[in-house]
Structure 1
């Protein structure tokens, strides 16, 4: 993976307007491999496509974001899951991070900027891990 725009990105939100907004924003940022899902179950079925990053809405109708996050992490703990939520609730954010979310973005005026920043942060981390110790996460998670 040469640049962060090579990421395979999944976006999961039951609000079609948000899905389109996120897709347009990511496309403008140069990302090409983007799949959108209107519920967590659809996303879980497609995990074999090996996404690098999943932007996951917290409040969905079929499965909660936390339930989906747990299943994603059981499938592949190396997937970066970023919560996007309309809830500015500390307990929700802490719970998401406790179960393996990489970051938590609150929906609002700065959410698109937040998405861009978190993708750059993930790209930087992946590059550092690749340079320093490509098998670090596998070794780390084998102890857990």
Structure 2
């Protein structure tokens, strides 16, 4: 278990029980910089807080997960968005990936285990990007 992980994570789900379960799981893994939102609109209003990772429920009331995903990616394409869905529809998964989701997790018995695995994958990707392009952010911002 990690003692403190500086990664900022948003959890977005209109089911308060799911939010609580996911929050507890991530806290046990050592993630402490967590923000919880019960709607996609609330999440979108807080994007200026610069989350690194967003776990996003697909089936929400006012905006679908796909709608929220598109807006997140327009705001910042570098945010890792992981879809969570109670539905195992291949079309939904394909759409999520098409619009920039990093991964798609079906809610159920293995969702917490799959969250842990996808966080490890994201950490691996971030580390590879950092090693391959250590000054890319500095170079990019020096051009602005």
TM-score, scaled relative to structure 2:
0.90
1:142 alignment counterpart: none
Cα deviation, 1:85-136, whole Å, max 9, x if unaligned, reads: 0010100000000000000000000000111110111011101100112439
1:47 alignment counterpart: 47
Distance 2:115 2:7 in 1: 13
1:78 alignment counterpart: 78
- 1:19: Cα distance to partner? 0.3
2:17 alignment counterpart: 17
Distance 2:62 2:71 in 1: 14
The answer to whether the 8 A contact 2:10-2:36 is kept is yes
TM-score, scaled relative to structure 1:
0.90
Distance 1:85 1:25 in 2: 17
- 1:6: Cα distance to partner? 1.8
- 1:43: Cα distance to partner? 0.2
Q: Counterparts in 2 of 1:51-130, with a 5 A limit?
A: 51-130=51-130
SS in 2 for 1:5: coil
Question: Unaligned 5+ residue runs, structure 2?
Answer: none
Report how many aligned residue pairs link the two structures: 136
Structure 1 runs of 4+ with >2 Å offset: none
Question: Unaligned 5+ residue runs, structure 1?
Answer: 140-144
Distance 1:5 1:25 in 2: 14
